[in-house]
């Protein structure tokens, strides 16, 4: 059992956090369906969210050693890697998972790697670009870090307080060799106080779950539909933190924006749905809109709205403090007409912010830009 898995065993679950008592207190004092009740519910949910985040930070130790990132879609690999690198250097996190602070981050790749060139396009103007470097394995057209010959080549670049990114295709792996290599790399990186982020690209039918037991943290990367202004969106699903998903922790959507000067910025929010239209439906429902009105606004039938909302792990009306991201209505007003749907307080003419909206739905407080997206302050610019 890994260090992170051990810490998860002692974490408080949603059952141990007094959500029911808070809700009952609100009901008894205010009665049903009042404005005061709705406001009190929101405040209670925010308090619960902060309690959960405090418990999370107190119980989950920063990961070191090997972090496994699996991806079944090679078209999103480099943007996912760039977003992960950005989070490590700025916040010491990957999809809400605390990781060891590092002073350098190296992309280790085979000579002539197309992925390396693509990675440079995403990260060349990052605020922390001075900590990033790309290093090629000379005379190597296809580097396999999990082959017996590849392990020492990788370890040559693993130093104390350093992070190394490397990629391998699942088809190139021999299972027993790969397991032995991951276990060795994990032990050595922990001994040195370093971080190895290992990306494995695989086909959907290929089962990579058997490799997770030998790593300290595991992520799955998949594609999402981007919102207005974004070119790409990905879901970083932290399977190590599965026990926390019901509390809105461990599943993060990251959007990539291509700026007018040719550089990239990243924005993140807690994951709600892969389809953009369902995210909008969720936001509207969280603001009190009826299913009928939501269907009218976004242009799909009521049954599809209901099914889309039911597929969300956390419903719009929740007790874990998950709320729409700051500025969502202003951002989406270019696609949908919210007139008469949102209350005056949350209309697109306002900033659509409140103390609860600002912080309750992410672990890292973000800053809203003029377009309303939660651009990370540490993003490439």
pLDDT of 34-71, one tens digit each? 556 556 666 666 777 778 888 888 888 899 999 999 99
* Average pLDDT score, the chain: 81
Interval 189-203: pLDDT, tens: 999 999 999 999 999
Distances (CA, A) of 280 to 244, 319, 328, 334: 24, 20, 8, 12
Q: Is residue 20 part of a domain?
A: no
Q: Cα–Cα–Cα angle for 104, 110, 116, nearest 5°?
A: 60
Q: Is residue 2 part of a domain?
A: no
Is residue 112 over pLDDT 80? no
Rounded-to-integer distance, Cα 296 and Cα 314, Å: 23
Residue 341 DSSP code: T
What is the separation of C-alpha 330 from the centre of its chain, rounded to a whole number of angstroms? 23
Q: Is residue 32 part of a domain?
A: no
Q: Identify the CATH number of the domain in which residue 90 sits.
A: 3.40.50.300
pLDDT at position 45 is 66
Q: Is residue 197 part of a domain?
A: yes
Number of domains in the chain: 1
Rounded-to-integer distance, Cα 72 and Cα 203, Å: 5
Tokens representing residue 252 in the block: 């993060």
Q: What does pTM read for this prediction?
A: 0.79
Distances (CA, A) of 98 to 4, 101, 180, 332: 10, 9, 25, 31
- Which has more confidence, 341 or 369? 341
Asked whether the beta carbons of 92 and 98 are under 8 A apart, the reply is yes
First to last CA, the chain: 40
Position 15 confidence tier, pLDDT thresholds 50, 70, 90: very low
Q: Give residue 115's domain range.
A: 65-205+213-219
Secondary structure E strands in 111-248: 132-137, 162-169, 195-201, 217-224, 232-238
Q: Is residue 74 part of a domain?
A: yes
pLDDT at position 299 is 96
Q: Is residue 47 part of a domain?
A: no
Q: Is residue 248 part of a domain?
A: no
């Amino acid at each position: 059992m890994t260090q992170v898995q051990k810490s998860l065993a002692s974490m408080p679950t949603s059952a141990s956090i007094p959500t029911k008592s808070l809700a009952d207190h609100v009901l008894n004092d205010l009665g049903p369906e009042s404005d005061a009740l709705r406001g009190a519910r929101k405040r209670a949910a925010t308090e619960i969210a902060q309690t959960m985040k405090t418990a999370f930070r107190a119980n989950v130790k920063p990961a070191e050693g090997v972090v496994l990132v699996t991806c079944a879609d090679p078209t999103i690999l480099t943007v996912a890697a760039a977003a992960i690198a950005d989070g490590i250097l700025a916040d010491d996190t990957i999809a809400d998972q605390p990781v060891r602070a590092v002073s350098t981050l190296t992309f280790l790749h085979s000579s002539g790697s197309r992925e390396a060139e693509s990675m440079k396009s995403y990260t060349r103007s990052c605020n922390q670009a001075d900590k990033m470097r790309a290093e090629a394995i000379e005379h190597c057209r296809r580097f396999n870090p999990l082959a017996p010959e590849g392990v020492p080549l990788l370890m040559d670049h693993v130093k104390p307080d350093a992070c190394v990114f490397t990629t391998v295709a699942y088809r190139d792996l021999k299972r027993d060799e790969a397991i032995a290599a991951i276990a060795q790399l994990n032990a050595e990186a922990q001994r040195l106080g370093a971080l190895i982020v290992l990306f494995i690209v695989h086909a959907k039918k290929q089962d990579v779950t058997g490799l997770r037991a030998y790593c300290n943290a595991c992520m799955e990367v998949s594609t999402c539909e981007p919102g207005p202004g974004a070119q790409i969106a990905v879901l970083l699903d932290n399977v190590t933190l599965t026990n926390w998903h019901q509390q809105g922790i461990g599943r993060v959507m990251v959007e990539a924006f291509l700026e007018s000067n040719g550089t990239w910025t990243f924005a993140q929010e807690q994951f709600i749905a892969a389809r953009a239209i369902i995210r909008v439906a969720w936001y509207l429902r969280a603001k009190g809109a009826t299913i009928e009105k939501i269907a009218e606004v976004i242009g799909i039938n009521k049954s599809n709205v209901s099914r889309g909302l039911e597929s969300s792990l956390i419903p719009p009306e929740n007790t874990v403090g998950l709320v729409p991201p700051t500025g969502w209505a202003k951002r989406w007003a270019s696609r949908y007409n919210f007139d008469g749907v949102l209350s005056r307080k949350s209309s697109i003419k306002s900033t659509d912010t409140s103390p609860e909206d600002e912080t309750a739905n992410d672990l890292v407080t973000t800053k809203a830009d003029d377009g309303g997206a939660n651009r990370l302050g540490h993003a490439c610019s």
